[in-house]
Structure 1
C-alpha cells in the first residue's frame, strides 16, 4: 500500500519542476523555511482535500457510470453532449466556484470514456476553459473575484453587472468554438450489454458528508469538517482515501511556496514599485502577464497592494486564467484529474488562442465602459 501511495509522488514531473523552481529561487532570496508554512493558503488546501475525498467517494460508488449511461442515451451526437457539458461547467462555476464545478463535471466526463467514443481529453480541456469563463461573472465564482469584491465595496449585483459583458462574450465564444471542434457525429454507445452496479450507501454517505463539509466551510471550521469527512470514509470505505491523488495537494503547497519566493525576488520587487503609475493598458497587460507566471489569485493579491480593486484589474486577472497552465489553479485541477499525459500539451493549443481573444475582447470592452 505504501508503494501505491508513493508512486504518484515519484512520477509527478510537474511537482519535480516546481521543486526545482523553488530551489532556484532560494539562491536569490533569503532562505527562511519557517515562513514557508505561512505562505500556503491552508483554506484552499483543506477545501481541495475535502472535495477530492467526496468526489472520489461518488466515483468509486459507481454512480457516475449510471449517470453517464443515462446522459449518453439522451444526447444523439458528440456535439450535443459536448455543448451540454461545457454549458453545465460554465453555469455551475458561477455559483459553486470554478474548482467545485470541475470536481463535479470532470469525473462524470471521464466516465463517458467507458460508455462511448467521445473525445474525452478535448472535452475536459473545454470544461477547464468553461469554468474560467463562467466563474468570472459573479463575486463568488472564483477566489480572485472574492478578493476583488471585498475590496471594491460593490454590491453583489453591481459586481456581477460590471463583469457580465466579458463573461457573456467569453462563454459565447467558447460555445461557438465548441460547436466547430466537436462534430455532429452520432455517439457510438458501446455499453449496451454491460450492467453497472453501484453502491447507494456510498453515494448517500458522500452526499451527507458533502453537506457537513459545506456547513463547516461556512462556519470557518474547515479543519473539523475535513476531519469528519476523513473519519467517515475510514469507517465506510477506506479505499476512497487510498485512491486519491494526494500528490496534487503537495503540488498546490509547493506552488504557494514558489509564488512566495518569486514575489520576493529583488528584480520583481523593484519593478512593482511603479505599478501605480502605469497607464490603463500597461496595468491591464501586467495583470494578465503576472497571472501567467504566478497564477491569477496570487497576482490579484500582489497587485491589490499597489492599485485599487477596479473593473480593469478584475478583467485582467480573470483573463489571465486562460493561456499558460499556471494562469489558473482550475487548469491544473482539470488536467490532473484527466490523467492523460497528452492533455498537458493539447491544452495550450486551445488556451493560448483563447487568451489572445479574451485580451482583445476585454480591452475593447474596457474602452467602451470607460
Structure 2
C-alpha cells in the first residue's frame, strides 16, 4: 500500500497536471503525505519526525534575504550591469546564465529564479530580445550553480543537515563542478540559440525606468 501511494504521488508530482485531476505539485505532495498517514498506517509521530525543520528554517531565511535584495533593487542593478559588461545578445545570454548560477550558489535557486525572472523579462522587452533563451538561461544557470554550496537548493540543504556535512569542505569539492557546469551550460545555450538571437549586434544599456 505504501509503495503504491508513493508511486502515485511521485507520478503526480513529476508529471504535468492531468485534465481529470487538477492537482498542482504542492497539493499532490500534501495529498500523498496525508494518504501515507490515513491509509498506509504511518504513525503521525514518525511523519512529523521526517520533517526537517532545520532545512525549512534555512530555506525560509534565504528566501527572506532574497526578498529584501529584490526590494532594494539589487536584481535591477544586476541586469543593468550585465548589459554594460556583455553588450551583445550572445554574450548577454551567457552572462545571464552565469549570474543566475552565481546568485544561486550564494542564495537559493528557487528564490533567485522567482526574483530574477521579471528582471530578465523586462530587460528583454526593453532591448528587443527574445524571451525564451534568456529564461532558459535563468533556469539552467540556477540549477547548475546551486550545487556549489549547501545553501544553493533545498536538496543540498537536506544533504547538509541530515549528513552533517561541513559547509567549507562541501564547497571546496563542489564549487569546481558547478563552475564547469556553468561554463558548459553557457556555451551550449549560445550554440543552441544562436539563430534565435539573430546576427551579432551591440546592445546599448537601456535608459533607467522613471
Shorter-chain TM band? 0.5 to 0.7
Counterpart of 1:84 in structure 2 is: 95
How has the CA–CA distance of structure 1 residues 124 and 146 changed in structure 2, closer, same or farther, with 3 Å as cutoff? same
In the comparison of the two structures, how many residue pairs are matched? Answer: 175
Q: 1:1-370 counterparts in 2 under 5 A?
A: 16-18=22-24, 21=28, 25=32, 29-31=36-38, 43=57, 46-47=60-61, 50=64, 54=68, 57=71, 64=76, 68=79, 71-72=82-83, 74-164=85-175, 166-183=177-194, 185-186=200-201, 196-197=209-210
Structure 1 pair 189–150 and aligned structure 2 pair: CA distance change class (3 A): same
In structure 2, the residue corresponding to 1:185 is in which secondary structure?
A: coil
- The 3 A distance-change label for structure 1 pair 49 and 127 is closer
TM-score (norm 2): 0.60
- Structure 1 residue 129 displacement after superposition: 1.4
How has the CA–CA distance of structure 1 residues 122 and 40 changed in structure 2, closer, same or farther, with 3 Å as cutoff? Answer: farther
Instruction: Name the SS of the counterpart of 2:172 in structure 1.
Output: helix
Do 2:103 and 2:112's aligned partners in 1 also have CA atoms closer than 8 Å? yes
Distance 2:172 2:101 in 1: 17
TM-superposed deviation, 1:96: 1.8
Are 2:100 and 2:141, in contact at CA under 8 Å, matched by a contact in 1?
yes
TM-score, normalising length: structure 1: 0.37
Q: Give the distance between the partners of 1:154 and 1:67, measured in 2 at CA.
A: 32
Give the superposition deviation at 1:30: 4.9
C-alpha contact (below 8 Å) 2:150/2:167 kept by paired residues: yes
How many angstroms does 1:177 deviate by? Answer: 0.5
Distance 1:107 1:54, change over 3 A: farther
Query: Pairwise CA RMSD of aligned residues?
Result: 4.2
Using CA pairs under 8 Å that are at least 6 residues apart, name the structure with larger relative contact order, 1 or 2.
Answer: 1
